[in-house]
């Protein structure tokens, strides 16, 4: 009788215990290692937990490919990635869109020497134009698309070369190249690195599609909805936590946008086609 009573009490206590919060694993494609991920997103982890009631666990990935593999195997639930990576991830993992992370002044441009011979896009015909790595939205795909939008065909009307940013600036100053394709923030850093040189912009692209948070395709709809609602209703608090990370300053002044469609990234798909990539089932570079 006593044993039965004790057992009944134990069952009753278990039933009264609060259920453990659902655990959701979060990864970022351009940050390697748990320590770096914690430095940048530790505050965000806590803020999102508070806003959703979910347990958020940071999950480091070594590359964009490993992020896709982790998502497809169910090891990771949420992935923050860039627009160029997203269109490939869409093909490989069919993720659900959660929310876009806006980056103010996120656009590509073509910079030249202010006192140099290049005064317009037309002057770049037959010349060398430097870009960043092929997989970069704002340093290669975006600038290449900008020139296409202005009427210059990639690798036909000019010669694309790939150089690191400061190396490209030095090459521009020497006259080895005619222009550099880069984003707004990177041009500011070039001007800071070379304060005695005047640079000018001959072409500016449209604002680029935003970074995007996606969920694995089979994550419960109610969980995705809960996370999306948190960004919508507690966005100010979450953004303040994001901005605790040094590298996350690119999001300063931006907003979380919940009205996002896959078609918003068709401009990125056109960028890939501009450089000769017609399928999106593998990451370039």
Instruction: Classify domain 107-207 by CATH number.
Output: 3.40.190.10
Q: How do residues 75-131 score in pLDDT, each as one tens digit?
A: 999 999 999 999 999 999 999 999 999 999 999 999 999 999 999 999 999 999 999
Query: Are 213 and 242 in contact, with CB atoms under 8 Å apart?
Result: no
Taking alpha carbons only, the member of 147, 149, 150, 108 closest to residue 129 is 147
Residue 2 confidence (pLDDT) above 60: no
Average pLDDT over residues 172-180: 98
Asked if the domains 21-104+209-274 and 107-207 are classified in one and the same CATH topology, the answer is yes
pLDDT at 101: 98
pLDDT at 16: 45
pLDDT at 21: 57
Domain 21-104+209-274 falls in which CATH fold? D-Maltodextrin-Binding Protein; domain 2 (3.40.190)
Residue 6 confidence (pLDDT) above 50: no
pLDDT at 177: 98
Residue 262 confidence (pLDDT) above 90: yes
Contacts of 177 (CB under 8 A, 6+ apart): 127, 128, 129, 130, 161, 163, 168, 171
End-to-end CA distance of the chain: 71
Q: How do residues 10-48 score in pLDDT, each as one tens digit?
A: 444 444 444 455 899 999 998 989 999 999 999 999 999
pLDDT at 135: 83
The two three-digit tokens of residue 27, written as one number = 């990864």
How far, CA to CA in Å, does 35 sit from each of 32, 60, 62, 70?
Answer: 8, 9, 13, 19
Q: How do residues 203-249 score in pLDDT, each as one tens digit?
A: 999 999 999 999 999 999 999 999 999 999 999 999 999 999 999 99
Domain ranges in the chain are 21-104+209-274, 107-207
Q: Which DSSP string do the residues of 27-53 spell out, in sequence order?
A: EETT--SHHHHHHHHHHHHHHHHHHHS
pTM exceeds cut of 0.85: yes
Secondary structure percentages of the chain, helix, strand, coil, to 5: 45, 20, 35
């Amino acid at each position: 009788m006593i044993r039965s009573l004790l057992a009944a009490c134990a069952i009753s206590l278990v039933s009264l215990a609060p259920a453990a919060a659902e655990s959701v694993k979060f990864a970022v494609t351009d940050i390697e290692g748990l320590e770096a991920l914690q430095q940048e997103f530790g505050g965000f982890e806590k803020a999102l937990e508070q806003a959703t009631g979910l347990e958020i666990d940071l999950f480091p990935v070594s590359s964009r490919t490993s992020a896709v593999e982790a998502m497809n195997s169910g090891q990771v639930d949420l992935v923050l990635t860039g627009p160029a990576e997203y269109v490939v991830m869409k093909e490989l993992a069919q993720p659900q869109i959660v929310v876009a992370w806006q980056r103010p002044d996120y656009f590509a441009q073509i910079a030249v020497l202010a006192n140099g011979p290049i005064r317009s896009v037309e002057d770049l015909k037959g010349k060398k134009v430097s870009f960043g790595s092929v997989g970069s939205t704002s340093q290669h795909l975006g600038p290449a698309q900008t020139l296409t939008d202005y009427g210059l065909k990639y690798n036909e009307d000019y010669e694309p070369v790939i150089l690191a940013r400061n190396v490209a600036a030095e090459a521009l100053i020497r006259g080895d190249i005619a222009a550099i394709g880069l984003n707004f923030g990177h041009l500011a850093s070039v001007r800071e690195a070379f304060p005695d040189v005047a640079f000018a912009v001959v072409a500016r692209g449209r604002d680029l599609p935003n970074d995007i948070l996606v969920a694995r395709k089979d994550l419960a709809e109610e969980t995705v909805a809960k996370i999306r609602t948190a960004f919508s209703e507690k966005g100010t608090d979450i953004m303040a936590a994001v901005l605790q990370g040094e590298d996350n300053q690119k999001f300063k002044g931006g907003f979380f946008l919940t009205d996002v469609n896959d078609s918003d990234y068709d401009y990125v798909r056109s960028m890939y086609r501009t450089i000769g990539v017609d399928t999106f089932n593998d990451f370039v570079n």
